[in-house]
A and B are shown apart, each in its own frame.
Chain A
Amino acid sequence: MSVILVADDDDDIRDLVAYRLERDGHDVTTVANGLAALEHLASAQVELVILDVMMPGMSGIDVARAIRADGRLAGIRIILLTARTQEADLEQGYAAGVDDYVAKPFSPRELSLRVGAVLARRT
Chain B
Amino acid sequence: MGESAHNLLLAIAWGLLLVFTGLAVVGVIALVGIRAARQATSRRRQRDRGAIRSRIVAAIVDEGDAAAEADRELMALRGTAWDHAEAAVIAMLPKVRGDAQERLRTVLRTRGTEQRALAQARSLRAFVRCKGAFALGVLRSTDAVDRLIVLLDDRSALVRRVAVRSLGQIGDARAVEPLLALAARDLGLTRDIVFALHEIGLSGAPALRAAVGSWQPDFRADDRPAALAASALGMIQDVDASLVLADAVLRGPIALRLAAAKALGHLDTPLSLAPLQAALRAPSHQVRVAAAASLGRLGAEVAIPALVDVMRSTDSATARAAADALMELGPAGRAALESSGAPHAIEALALHRLRSG
Task: Give chain A's interface residues, CB within 8 Å of chain B.
Answer: 10, 12-13, 15-16, 19-20, 23, 104-110
Nearest chain-B residue to A109 (Cβ)?
B98
Residues of chain A lying within 8 A (CB to CB) of residue B29: none
Query: How far apart sit A88 and B4, CA to CA, in the bound complex (Å)?
Result: 99
Residues of chain A lying within 8 A (CB to CB) of residue B92: 12, 16
In the complex, whether B91 has a CB less than 8 A from a CB of chain A is yes
Residues of chain A lying within 8 A (CB to CB) of residue B57: 15-16, 19
B70 to nearest A CB, angstroms? 11
Q: Which of B63, B95, B100 contacts A12 (CB 8 A)?
A: B95
- Pairwise interchain contact A106-B95, C-beta atoms closer than 8 A: yes
- Pairwise interchain contact A105-B95, C-beta atoms closer than 8 A: yes
Given contacts A12-B91, A12-B92, A15-B53, contact A20 B61 (CB under 8 A): yes
Q: How large is the interface on B (under 10, 10 to 19, 20 to 34, 35 or more residues)?
A: 10 to 19
Sample of 15 A–B contacts (CB below 8 Å): A13-B95, A16-B57, A16-B60, A16-B61, A16-B96, A20-B61, A106-B95, A106-B97, A107-B96, A107-B97, A108-B60, A108-B96, A109-B63, A110-B97, A110-B98
Task: Give chain B's interface residues, CB within 8 Å of chain A.
Answer: 53, 57-58, 60-63, 91-92, 94-98, 100
What 5 A-B pairs have minimum CB-CB distances, sorted nearest first? A107-B98, A107-B97, A108-B61, A20-B61, A12-B92
Query: How far apart sit A12 and B97, CA to CA, in the bound complex (Å)?
Result: 14
- Pairwise interchain contact A23-B95, C-beta atoms closer than 8 A: no
Name the residue in B57, B60, B61 with the highest tally of chain A Cβ atoms < 10 Å from its Cβ: B61
Residues of chain B lying within 8 A (CB to CB) of residue A12: 91-92, 95
B42 to nearest A CB, angstroms? 19
Nearest chain-B residue to A23 (Cβ)?
B61
Query: How far apart sit A106 and B96, CA to CA, in the bound complex (Å)?
Result: 5
Name the residue in A13, A20, A23, A108 with the highest tally of chain B Cβ atoms < 10 Å from its Cβ: A108
A49 to nearest B CB, angstroms? 20
**Main SS of the interface on chain A?**
helix
B236 to nearest A CB, angstroms? 16
Residues of chain A lying within 8 A (CB to CB) of residue B53: 15
Query: How far apart sit A92 and B57, CA to CA, in the bound complex (Å)?
Result: 32
Residues of chain B lying within 8 A (CB to CB) of residue A104: 95
Query: How far apart sit A110 and B63, CA to CA, in the bound complex (Å)?
Result: 13
B170 to nearest A CB, angstroms? 16
Residues of chain A lying within 8 A (CB to CB) of residue B63: 109
Nearest chain-A residue to B66 (Cβ)?
A23
- Pairwise interchain contact A105-B60, C-beta atoms closer than 8 A: no
A22 to nearest B CB, angstroms? 10
Residues of chain A lying within 8 A (CB to CB) of residue B91: 12
- Pairwise interchain contact B61-A105, C-beta atoms closer than 8 A: no
Residues of chain A lying within 8 A (CB to CB) of residue B97: 105-107, 110
Query: How far apart sit A44 and B58, CA to CA, in the bound complex (Å)?
Result: 28
- Pairwise interchain contact A108-B98, C-beta atoms closer than 8 A: yes
- Pairwise interchain contact B58-A19, C-beta atoms closer than 8 A: yes
Residues of chain B lying within 8 A (CB to CB) of residue A13: 95
Query: How far apart sit A19 and B57, CA to CA, in the bound complex (Å)?
Result: 7
Residues of chain A lying within 8 A (CB to CB) of residue B58: 19
Residues of chain B lying within 8 A (CB to CB) of residue A19: 57-58, 61
Residues of chain A lying within 8 A (CB to CB) of residue B98: 107-110
Nearest chain-B residue to A21 (Cβ)?
B61
Nearest chain-B residue to A104 (Cβ)?
B95
A60 to nearest B CB, angstroms? 16
Query: How far apart sit A108 and B58, CA to CA, in the bound complex (Å)?
Result: 11
A30 to nearest B CB, angstroms? 12
Query: How far apart sit A23 and B60, CA to CA, in the bound complex (Å)?
Result: 13
Query: How far apart sit A108 and B61, CA to CA, in the bound complex (Å)?
Result: 6
Query: How far apart sit A107 and B60, CA to CA, in the bound complex (Å)?
Result: 10
Query: How far apart sit A108 and B63, CA to CA, in the bound complex (Å)?
Result: 10
Residues of chain A lying within 8 A (CB to CB) of residue B94: 105
Nearest chain-B residue to A108 (Cβ)?
B61
Query: How far apart sit A15 and B62, CA to CA, in the bound complex (Å)?
Result: 13
A48 to nearest B CB, angstroms? 18
